[in-house]
Amino acid sequence: MAQQQSMTLPEDAQAQVQALEREIQKAVVGQRQVIREVVVALLAAGHVLLEGVPGLGKTLMARSLAAAVGGRFNRVQFTPDLMPSDISGHAMFDMKSQAFRVRRGPVFCNFLLADEVNRAPAKTQSALLESMQEQQVTIEGVSYDLEQPFMVMATQNPIEQEGTYPLPEAQLDRFLLKVFIDYPSLQEEEAMVRQITGNRIGDRLDTTAIATVLKPEAIVALQQRTARLRVDEQIVNYGVRMVRAVREWNGVDVGAGPRGSLALIRAARGHAMLQGNAFVTPDDLKNMAPAVLRHRIKLTADLEIEGYHPDEVLADILREVDAPRV
């Protein structure tokens, strides 16, 4: 009995995570896998790049998560003329006090939605780097810590490339996961239409049905618990072998670096937490590998011409890497 108890998390942690998922599902119809991956990123204290065509619920996903946690939510629409100070903030002269004061930008929040992040030039995109990696913002030489938890959810449109700027590899690497939002099934789309058109004016995003089930401090506690989940040495070895196999694959021009290995273990811990387990298994790594690695590799020109997708190549590679028996 003691051994069985040690295999699972305390009931309070499981209940909190499950309640968070259920609340998001009240507003976001379908997209179960997307919801789970976003929650995994939150538990692992990581950032998410959401990719999908317009109208699939990327913004609603971010708003729903913030509503369920009760955290402060800000949205920035990235445009070609957006300046770095429009994100981080700036110092301004106060005529009344005859002194400079800092006007904090939208990055000072718990959940930041960077909408269509690839529409801004690289200089503005890089303004997010410090906040994403260092959890702080520097304004006029002074560093300001960001409130915890802090999570960036950036969206990009995969088909509309005119007027966009590719994300720098350094910034892509800062995202723990890249999550695809696909079209809903027939039943899910019918349910969505009924929900949005039922006694409502317009199609404004509605998160009023979502209750605040967790406070930001509870999320921080869950993140700390996630970071302490046991990872066996064989699991670490398996994760590193996965990433190195991707890096050395003939069809991959540029592979994931050591940060990819770190991200895979972090995401696997988040997945184990979501499953209610007290330790990481090989299945946790297998489940999270596509979302962790798809934006960290660049296929060779030949494979791209033939129409291969990174997920297809990753599936082939992962089948070749032997999993440990634990």
Dump pLDDT digits (tens) for 25-78.
888 877 889 999 999 999 999 999 998 877 777 888 888 999 999 889 999 999
- CA 35 to mean position of chain CA atoms: 10
pLDDT band at 205 (very low <50, low <70, confident <90, very high): low
pLDDT in tens, 130-182: 788 888 888 887 888 999 999 999 998 775 666 677 777 778 889 999 999 88
Q: Comparing C-alpha atoms, which of 81, 256, 267, 264 is closest to residue 169? A: 256
The angle subtended at Cα 280 by Cα 279 and Cα 283, nearest 5°, is 140
Given this model, what pLDDT does residue 285 score?
96
Q: To which H or E segment does residue 263 belong? A: helix 258-275
pLDDT in tens, 97-138: 767 777 888 999 999 999 988 888 878 887 788 788 888 888
In the structure encoding, which two tokens stand for residue 265, read together? 């273990």
Cα gap 30→207, rounded to integer Å: 15
Cα gap 128→30, rounded to integer Å: 30
3.30.1010.10, 3.40.50.300, 3.30.360.10, 3.40.50.970: which CATH number matches 12-218? 3.40.50.300
| Type of residue at 264 | L
With a CB cutoff of 8 Å and minimum separation 6, the contacts of 57 are: 28, 29, 31, 181
pLDDT in tens, 52-63: 877 777 888 888
Provide the whole-model pTM.
0.88
Domain boundaries, the chain: 12-218, 229-326
Contact 156, 51 (CB under 8 A): yes
Residue 134: φ, ψ to 5°: -100, -10
Cα gap 288→286, rounded to integer Å: 6
Q: Which CATH architecture has domain 229-326?
A: Orthogonal Bundle (1.10)
Cα gap 131→138, rounded to integer Å: 9
Contact 86, 105 (CB under 8 A): yes
pLDDT in tens, 229-283: 999 999 999 999 999 999 988 888 888 889 999 999 999 999 999 998 989 999 9
**Least confident residue range of 77-81, 87-91, 148-152:** 87-91
